[in-house]
Amino acid sequence: MTVDLAAAAKERGIKYFLISYTDLFGVQRAKLVPASAINGMARSGAGFAGFATWLDMTPADPDLFAVPDPDSLIQLPWKPEVGWLAADLWMNGKEVAQAPRNLLKRLVKDAAAQGYTMKTGVECEFFLTTPDGLEVCDSADRQTKPCYDQSALMRQYDVIAELCDAMLALGWKPYQNDHEDANGQFEMNWNFGDVLVTADRHSFFKYMAKSIAEKHGLRATFMPKPFLNLTGSGCHAHVSVWNGERNLFEDEAGELGVSQLGYHFIGGVIHSADALCALFNPTVNSYKRINAPRTTSGATWSPNTVTYSGNNRTHMIRIPEGGRFELRLPDGAANPYLLQAGIVAAGLDGIRNKRDPGKRLDINMYTDGHLVEGVKKLPLNMLDALRALEASEVLKEGLGAFVPAYLKLKHQEWNDYARHLTQWERDVTLDC
């Protein structure tokens, strides 16, 4: 169903539209367009200078047009006179292949052509901090095991309830909110859906959490590891593949209730895991969450190795019940569209090539991981992950023109980071 935006504006009292796109680094870029101009923009798109954002373009390139997807319309719950629209990018009359939302749409289409609809739900953990981001928002939130702390949760009730009310009103079917494993850390869950719907909602959720926290004098951050001794912010993704009303991952007779097709999909994710880190763990900071030493709570809750298990949270992939799996690798910095694009591309490759995920491990990976041989380790830093992506024929083929564009920008970022002199280097090297 396509929405007539001018009519929707009149009907719902929308004065302005935010025509928004997400660039390769996950930054949301927008133009604020008065409702009187929306019909023209919906036809030809809002103009941008692509080079001014992270898209791998040059200052000499012609105008980039962001064409809003009317089906993505969300009225800002905290400012209902504004309507948010996710946009696809066009240049020279062609879709921009490396643009994250365009890429995900292309993969969704590829999957559909093979009879597959991927559905996913994400668990976006985040911290509420002071406005400068230096401390958690609540100085009384100090337990060493703060997970599910009732009082600390309720002290942030105003923010959490406003966010949950917003999701209820938007029809996302939120069902629980909790204090997470780090001081100042929270998670809010809403129901899974088609991969593009979840990616749009995930983007919007990040914007909404930041906006509503700001309104309350706080800051919401999805940074993977803002505090070294505390558990980091993951963004677990739950995955199933459907054909119409049938969940193709479901098979009562299969191991843990997962079908052969499901295991091939998992095999695909396992096969490409190190390269996928470039998308799932896209920042320098991401690698302080995975492979991390134990936090003050007792566990990092993030994986170190490319392994899968049943209902056991110490592995990269957990199968909590039949019909779906949970990917615990992605973190809060993952671009919502690239996160899903990576899963679809790797999973389709797994199905196509009947990839074997290997043996399930049921051990506590944190304490007994060293006892198993031949287990693949995750990349130790962003450069490792970029090189793995560079070497991945599967992802280069599956993600197409996106890969060289992304690698170019990310290598620039790595070089920028490498130019920094740290206190650690002084401490370790001054007396060498």
Instruction: Please count the other Cβ atoms lying within 10 Å of the Cβ belonging to residue 150.
Output: 9
276 binds, among Mg ion, ligand ADP, none (CB under 5 to 8 A by kind): none
- Does 336 help bind ligand ADP (rule: CB under 6 A)? no
Instruction: Please count the other Cβ atoms lying within 10 Å of the Cβ belonging to residue 394.
Output: 20
- Does 192 help bind ligand ADP (rule: CB under 6 A)? yes
Q: Which amino acid is at 124?
A: C
Query: Which chain residues interact with Mg ion by CB under 5 A?
Result: 123, 236
119 binds, among ligand ADP, Mg ion, none (CB under 5 to 8 A by kind): ligand ADP
Closer to Mg ion at the Cβ: 5 or 378? Answer: 378
Per DSSP, 226 falls in state S
Q: Residue 121 is encoded by which pair of tokens?
A: 């739900």
Residues 121-140, one symbol each (x = binds ligand ADP by CB under 6 A, - = not), give: x-x-----------------
Binding segment for ligand ADP (CB under 6 A), chosen from 186-194, 202-210, 254-262, 343-351, is: 186-194
Residues 271-310, one symbol each (x = binds ligand ADP by CB under 6 A, - = not), give: ----------------------------------------
- Does 323 help bind ligand ADP (rule: CB under 6 A)? yes
CB of 123 to ligand ADP, least distance (A): 4
- Does 189 help bind ligand ADP (rule: CB under 6 A)? yes
The bridge status of strand 64-68 relative to strand 174-179 is unpaired
Comparing CA positions, the residue from 345, 193, 394, 352 lying closest to residue 261 is: 352
3-state secondary structure of 305: strand
- Does 76 help bind ligand ADP (rule: CB under 6 A)? no
* Residue 419 falls in which region: left (phi positive, over 0), alpha (psi -120 to 50) or beta: alpha
Spatial separation of the C-alpha atoms in residues 239 and 229, rounded to whole Å: 30
238 binds, among ligand ADP, Mg ion, none (CB under 5 to 8 A by kind): ligand ADP
**Strand blocks (E) in 244-324:** 246-247, 308-309, 317-318
| C-beta of residue 179 within 8 angstroms of C-beta of residue 146 | yes
192 binds, among ligand ADP, Mg ion, none (CB under 5 to 8 A by kind): ligand ADP
Spatial separation of the C-alpha atoms in residues 304 and 291, rounded to whole Å: 5
* DSSP string across 378-389: PPSSHHHHHHHH
Binding segment for ligand ADP (CB under 6 A), chosen from 44-52, 210-218, 316-324, 367-375, is: 316-324
Q: Residue 432 is encoded by which pair of tokens?
A: 């060498």
- Does 119 help bind ligand ADP (rule: CB under 6 A)? yes
CB of 116 to Mg ion, least distance (A): 23
Give me the residues that bind ligand ADP (CB under 6 A), please. Answer: 119-121, 123, 189, 191-192, 236, 238-240, 320, 323-324, 326
